[in-house]
A and B are shown apart, each in its own frame.
Chain A
Amino acid sequence: MEAKIGFRTATSLIFKGVIILFAFAIAIPLIVILFYIIRQGVTQVNWTFLSHVPAPVGEKGGGVLNALAGSFILVLMSSVIAIPVGMMAGIYLSENPKTRLAYYAGLCVDILQGVPSIVMGIVVYFWIVKPLGTFSAISGSVALAIMMLPIIIRSTEQTLKMLPDSLKEAALSLGVPYHKVILKVIVPCGFAGILSGITLSIARVIGETAPLLFTAFGNPYVSGHIARPMESLPHLIFTYATSPYDDWHNLAWGASFILLMFVLVLNIVTKVITRKWKVQL
Chain B
Amino acid sequence: MVIGNTSAIAHSFKDLIFGPSNTMASVIANELLEADHTEYLSALIELGLVLFCVTVVINIIGKRIVSKFTND
Which chain A residues have a beta carbon within 8 Å of chain B's beta carbons? 107, 110-111, 113-116, 118-119, 121-123, 125-126, 210, 213-214, 238, 241-242
Contacts and interface: CB of A to CB of B under 8 A. Distances in A.
Given A116-B25, A118-B28, A242 B52 contact: no
B51 A116 contact: yes
B33 interface: yes
Contact of B48 (A107, A111, A113, A118): A118
B10 interface: no
Interface size class of B (residues with CB under 8 A): 10 to 19
Interface string B45-66: 1001001100110110001000
B64 to A, nearest CB: 12
A12 to B, nearest CB: 25
Interface string B21-61: 00001001100110000000000110010011001101100
Contact of B59 (A111, A118, A121, A210): A111
B8 interface: no
B55 A118 contact: no
A169 B17 CA distance: 61
B1 interface: yes
7 contacts: A111-B55, A111-B59, A115-B52, A115-B55, A116-B51, A119-B28, A125-B32
Contact of B29 (A107, A113, A213): A213
Contacts of A111: 55-56, 59
Contacts of B29: 118, 210, 213
A210 B1 CA distance: 11
A116 B55 contact: yes
Q: Is the interface of B mostly helix, strand, loop or mixed?
A: helix
B65 to A, nearest CB: 13
Interface string B1-20: 10000000000000000000
A114 B55 contact: yes
A122 B35 CA distance: 13
A140 B62 CA distance: 30
Contacts of B45: 122, 126
A116 B52 contact: yes
B11 to A, nearest CB: 27
A214 B48 contact: no
Contacts of A122: 28, 32, 44-45, 48
Nearest to A122: B48
Contacts of A116: 25, 51-52, 55
Of B25, B48, B56, most buried by chain A (CB within 10 Å of CB) is: B48
Contacts of A115: 52, 55
Contacts of B33: 213-214
Nearest to B32: A214
Contacts of A242: 1
A123 B51 CA distance: 13
B59 A119 contact: no
A241 B2 CA distance: 11
B63 A110 contact: yes
B51 A118 contact: yes
A107 B32 CA distance: 30
Nearest to B5: A242
B56 A114 contact: yes
A113 to B, nearest CB: 8
A107 B64 CA distance: 12
